[in-house]
Amino acid sequence: MAMSTQLESLLYLLSGALFILAIRSLSSPESARLGNLMGAAGMALAIAVVLVDVSGAMDALTIGLIVGGIGLGGGIGALIAFRVKMTAMPQAVGILNSLGGMAAVLVAAAAYFSPVAFGIGEPGNIQVASLFETSLGIIIGAITFTGSMVAFTKLQGLVSGAPTVFPFQHYLNGALAVVLIGLIIAFCTTQSLETLLGLIVLSLVLGVLVILPIGGADMPVVISMLNAYSGWAGAGVGFTLGNTALIITGAIVGSSGAILSYIMCKAMNRSLLNVIMGGFGSETDASAVYIQEERPVTRGSAEDAAFIMRNATSIIVVPGYGMAVAQAQHALEEMSDLLKDVGATIKFAIHPVAGRMPGHMNVLLAEAGVSYDDVYDLESINSEFARTNVAFVIGANDVTNPAAKSDKSSPLYGMPVLDVEKADMVLFLKRSLAPGYAGVENELFFRDNTMMLFGDAKKTVEGIVKAI
């Protein structure tokens, strides 16, 4: 039996409040676990309300399909959560974003084919407002689906992370956007199946074209932006369904993702439009080992690094994606504990766009047991490098490149970076002198106060631990 409208609205409001509290809790590592639990509780409550509300109209087959769908989807989600490594979490987020987008497309299509069941009219006579909402849900959802899939293939290394650009690309995207507007008008007017299919296909193509020209350096922003898209797509479908919980949830996801995208862009000193237009950043092969002999560098060993840090009183560790790839966070935590035992002060400096998604480094360090009190963001620690004996950079590249402050011709120019070069000594762990994800050579490698430690980050740190 369906519950009363008042009770349903109250429970949806409670569900929305849990989502808001969840996002609030995710702002701090100490409360992030509780935030995840509150978010899951809010979603479970919303699902329960929907099931109770429609239970009176369900037959045994429908109930079986729903239970089977929840079991299958929940099982796959649990499997992903248990098996995906933290280094692959950005790719996992990309896949999950794509599923959210496709869900919006499928629900919108279902509303078109069964308008009576959705309470939006009859076949061939659907309410114009609902057709417009359906169009938006399809467009945003389809762009999210293919865009997220492209982001996944880049992050997974299935295709090059370099921007894929061709002449008149932006003009083509603009023309497709204009055609989409025309298709929305035509769909709301004719309600034809052909127009609906045109909307879906064109939106899927546009999703690919929008993300292809975006390079690897912008991937953290892309993941955040696509997350926002999936939220707005869900909110659009929520209006079609008249479902308060979906509207609230979608709006929260969309707005929080948009705010995070803005924060990430600010950290890179770029506009969101500049990121969307793409063309910045290229990927290099992280496993390739080559040394540019024409520019000499100071090379060191794990024993050299251990000696230097044993005699240091202050050390700032700067982790990057290289640490994640090598899974060196546990060895790094062991090294920091040993150095604390000999009297050194250890701090960790996290750049807002370090890694391949927002908070990537924070999660890895938390997984290794690094104290939250030892982790600082760029703004709170940048002034301390000038008073630090050793800056220990492990797999970070673009976020430490001094060219961002001095070379106006560099694509990185204007991006706030960590001032590691101001430390008395810089120990830089990297496989080679290859450029970072943005494809820009790091001048820090060749500074007089920099010692390069070439090789696998985990093995190198383990060597340092042994030497200490």
Active site residues per annotation:
398
Q: How far apart are CA 375 and CA 396, in angstroms?
A: 16
- Helix 193-211 with 169-190: angle, nearest 10 deg: 160
The distance from CA 381 to its chain's CA centroid, rounded to whole angstroms, is 24
Name every residue whose Cβ is closer than 8 Å to that of residue 191 and which is 6 or more positions away in sequence: 124, 125, 126, 131
Longest dimension (CA), the chain: 79
Q: How many CB atoms are closer than 10 A to CB 87?
A: 17
Name every residue whose Cβ is closer than 8 Å to that of residue 327 and which is 6 or more positions away in sequence: 85, 87, 458
Please identify which residue in the block is written with the tokens 């892309």: 222
- The candidate with the shortest Cα–Cα distance to 210, out of 142, 307, 294, is 142
| Exposure on the CB side of residue 89, measured as CA atoms within 13 A | 20
Q: How far apart are CA 39 and CA 238, in angstroms?
A: 18
CB 213 within 8 Å of CB 279 = yes
CB 234 within 8 Å of CB 198 = no
3-state helix, strand, coil in the chain (%, to 5): 65, 10, 25
Q: How far apart are CA 454 and CA 458, in angstroms?
A: 11
SS3 state of residue 454: strand
CB 168 within 8 Å of CB 209 = no
Residue count (the chain): 468
DSSP state, residue 316: E
207, 229, 364, 282: CA torsion to nearest 10: 30
Q: How far apart are CA 216 and CA 174, in angstroms?
A: 23
φ, ψ of residue 301 to 5 degrees: the values are: -120, 175
- The candidate with the shortest Cα–Cα distance to 66, out of 80, 76, 52, is 52
Angle at 297 between CA 269 and CA 304, to 5 degrees: 105
CB 405 within 8 Å of CB 440 = no
